[in-house]
Amino acid sequence: MTKNINPFYNIIISPRIIIFFIFILFLCSIKAHNVYAHKVYIFAWAEGDTIYTESYSGDKRVSNGVIKVFTASGDFLLEGKTDTDGNFSFKIPQQTDLKIVLEAGMGHRAEYLFRSDDIREPVKEEATPETQDGLDTIKKHSTGVSTEELRKVMEEVLDDRLNPISKRLARIEDKKNNSLTDIIGGIGYILGIMGIVIYFRNRATPKQ
């Protein structure tokens, strides 16, 4: 008895069943647009001399997660735990690239590479003492505030304003492209592999 070479013979009576399965898959993928729901990730940004980190598992914060900080080459620097809001901050240990690692339990781990050029040293003007004194007194009398105090205030205000922007930037850098695309792409790859295997198998069997 010749084997029926229709590759779909063994799994369907009618195309309805295949359509049923693909429909179920599609329903699941539409609901599952938030691909990050299963991933843990950590963001970090600098304010002044402190690095702040936030740890997430999907949309939730990771509390009591272990944070380890390494140099870019892997030397261990320091360790800590996130609080209940998923935050952990530490003073910048050295002015190099840092690798910040989050271990959230149950086998989940995430890394963030913190670049040292994200930290900018406050610009120090070169000025001779006498002119600086003179300038300071003039400024003090006119505005009531010295250069140093002004600089401090500006840094604080800028940190305040830039904080949410740094956070969003860190998120964007980590996010890959649209996840529905990836889901459909993955299903496509599987069907493609299936097609290739069937093609080569049909070539191998002699046609009757």
Binding site for another protein (CB under 8 A): 3, 7-13, 17-18, 21-22, 24-25, 28-29, 31-32, 35, 37-40, 57-58, 60, 62-63, 101, 103-111, 176, 179, 182-183, 185-187, 189-191, 193-194, 197-198, 201
99: β partners? 70, 113
Residue bearing tokens 């004194």: 133
Least separation, in Å, of the C-beta of 151 and another protein?
Answer: 41
103: β partners? 66, 109
Residue 130 phi, psi dihedral angles, 5° rounding: -70, -50
Residue 87 phi, psi dihedral angles, 5° rounding: -100, 150
Least separation, in Å, of the C-beta of 181 and another protein?
Answer: 9
Q: What whole-number distance in Å separates Cα of residue 101 and Cα of residue 69?
A: 6
Judged by CB, which is closer to another protein: 41, or 46? 41
Least separation, in Å, of the C-beta of 107 and another protein?
Answer: 4
Judged by CB, which is closer to another protein: 12, or 92? 12
Contact 61, 31 (CB under 8 A): no
Least separation, in Å, of the C-beta of 80 and another protein?
Answer: 18
Q: Please compute Rg for the chain using Cα positions.
A: 29
Judged by CB, which is closer to another protein: 44, or 110? 110
Q: What whole-number distance in Å separates Cα of residue 177 and Cα of residue 162?
A: 25
What lies within 8 Å, CB to CB, of 61 at 6+ separation is 54, 55, 82, 84, 85, 86
Judged by CB, which is closer to another protein: 58, or 80? 58
Least separation, in Å, of the C-beta of 11 and another protein?
Answer: 4
DSSP annotation of 26 reads H
Least separation, in Å, of the C-beta of 35 and another protein?
Answer: 5
SS3 98: strand
Contact 51, 42 (CB under 8 A): no
Judged by CB, which is closer to another protein: 162, or 198? 198
